Structure 1
Amino acid sequence: MRRLAAEFLGTGMLVTVVVGSGIAAQRLSPNDVGLQLLENSLVTALGLAVLILLVGPVSGAHLNPAVSLADWVLSRRRAGGLSSTDLGAYVAAQITGGVAGTLLASVMFDVAPTLSTTPRATAGQLVGEVVATAGLVLLVFALARTTTTAVTAAAVGAYIGAAYWFTSSTSFANPAVTVARIFTDTFSGIAPASAMPFILAQLVGAAVGVALLLVLYPTADRTAARAVVPIRPDTTPQEHS
């Protein structure tokens, strides 16, 4: 339950960071969309790095169903990682946490929660989501082989911040965040009709990322259980259940 609470809290705060900074950027820079995106991406990159450090030792800081699914797939090859039961519970915690994060941001900024009217699912944007998610999954599991928690947090935050700019979709790269952003008609929102194509593109991207990982690092499945951040070894198995 502590692990699920950490995933709920971490994903919720991530969405609060994304949506809240998007609303603030809209208000502070109403006539400059480029500056709005810069503000939103910078805050998201920093916030994500902090959240990985915060909840990583408890749950691994997946904060993303695509990462959890990739962990589960890689774990089928060897012992360790998420079980099928864990995967379902993680995804549920991430999605509900994300929606709660959108509602929290709406309350803080006195914005009525409402469905987004921003369409995003063009062919180019869907390709962007495949690229963004593939790169994220590849990075996360490659880092699990060699780096420290601090480096992982910084690298993942930096990648998402950069992917805001080099992908046409502004790098959602996260099904839970995509669902959560349906419920805000602000700078960071996504129309319900665009959400499912985005999620399908993210799942394709996750599969591409896992395939690239196994090509570049054939033994990466041995360390999949350490993604995103290794759970502290002083946490007992009973506390993991």
Structure 2
Amino acid sequence: MTTSTRTSAHPTLSQRWLAELLGTAVLLAVVIGSGIMAEHLAGGNVAIALLANTAATVGGLYVLIEVLGPISGAHFNPVVSAVMAWRAELSWRDALAYVAAQLVGALLGAWLAHAMFDLPLLQLSAKLRSGPAQWLAEVVATAGLLLVILRAPAGRASSLVAAYIGAAYWFTASTSFANPAAAWGRMFSDSFAGIAPASVPGFVLAQCVGAVLAVGLNRLLGHHKAG
């Protein structure tokens, strides 16, 4: 077996780490950048801005999973990596490397979005997102996302995940962060998609609860996958 063939079939940890960093960075640039653009163009209509933000996120997420999924699994999300490690589909060492890549990528994605719109790179959001309803929304959003990932038929995860996130933007009070790395990255953007630092711990805790709930529900539902 040649080196190139082996690399293609079995990406190295460094290649997978880069895929997670790049994917998370682009995902955050899409979420934050489309939010900035939507807010500029919507003329104060928050519903239109959220619709534009949703459409860009759905499209970007689908493409990123399709392109980078064969390399790293396209987690872009610490709770996804943790669940995969718990299921022994990823070593804990690799999961920690993934999480580090996701957090670095999320910050770089926020900075990239700011640079593209000629905004100050270094920002902190002032947008408070807190309270029991928001936390419950994040539990629901994250549990649903993990269930989709765990139970998606082979080859359909990218479309199902993108569709679920698009729906959850609208049926959850939090607009479905469902991702500690996204909360971390969006903390550094005082824009439409931002979240105040004081609100991040509550979101992350709720997301972890949602991930645990998804694992339990998946076990109760059994091993069957439709399709």
State the TM-score, normalized to the length of structure 1: 0.86
- Cα distance in 1 for residues equivalent to 2:40 and 2:174: 22
Partner of 1:96: 104
Distance 1:68 1:30 in 2: 39
Separation in 2, partners of 1:217, 1:65: 24
Q: Normalised by the size of structure 2, how large is the TM-score?
A: 0.91
Shift of 1:84: 1.2
CA–CA separation in structure 2 for the residues paired with 1:215 and 1:45: 29
Give the equivalent residue in structure 1 for 2:7.
Answer: none
**Preserved contact between residue 64 and residue 94 of structure 1 (Cα < 8 Å):** yes
Residue of structure 2 in register with 1:230 after alignment: none
Aligned runs of 1:1-241 on 2, under 5 Å? Answer: 1-75=14-88, 81-112=89-120, 113-143=122-152, 146-148=153-155, 151-218=156-223
Q: Give the C-alpha shift of residue 217 in structure 1.
A: 2.1
Secondary structure, aligned partner of 1:140 = helix
SS in structure 2 opposite 1:183?
coil
Q: Equivalent residue for 1:229?
A: none
Q: SS of 1:62's equivalent?
A: coil
Q: In 2, Cα distance between the equivalents of 1:138 and 1:74?
A: 14
> Does structure 2 conserve the Cα–Cα contact (< 8 Å) formed by 1:124 and 1:168?
yes
Moved over 4 A (4+): none
Contact 1:142 1:217 in 2 (8 A): no
Give CA deviations for 1:73-129 in whole Å, capped at 9, x if unaligned. 122xxxxx1111011100000010010000000000011131000000111010000
Q: Could you tell me which amino acid in structure 2 is paired with residue 45 of structure 1? A: V
The verdict on how the C-alpha distance between 1:147 and 1:108 changes in structure 2, with shifts beyond 3 A counting, is: same
Runs of at least 5 residues in structure 2 that lack an aligned partner in the other structure: 1-13
* Residue type of the alignment partner of 1:152: A
Instruction: Give unpaired runs (5+ residues) of structure 1.
Output: 76-80, 221-241
Aligned residues of 2:148 and 2:157 also touching (Cα < 8 A): no
> 2-side partners of 1:211 and 1:67: how far apart?
14
Q: Which amino acid aligns with 1:101?
A: G
> In structure 2, what is the equivalent of residue 231 of structure 1?
none
The AA in structure 1 aligned to 2:172 is T
Report the equivalent of 2:9.
Answer: none
Distance 2:224 2:192 in 1: 41
Give the secondary-structure state (helix, strand or coil) at the position aligned to 2:87: helix
Contact 1:45 1:157 in 2 (8 A): yes
Superposed CA deviations along residues 8-29 of structure 1, whole A, max 9, x for unmatched, are: 0000000000000000000000
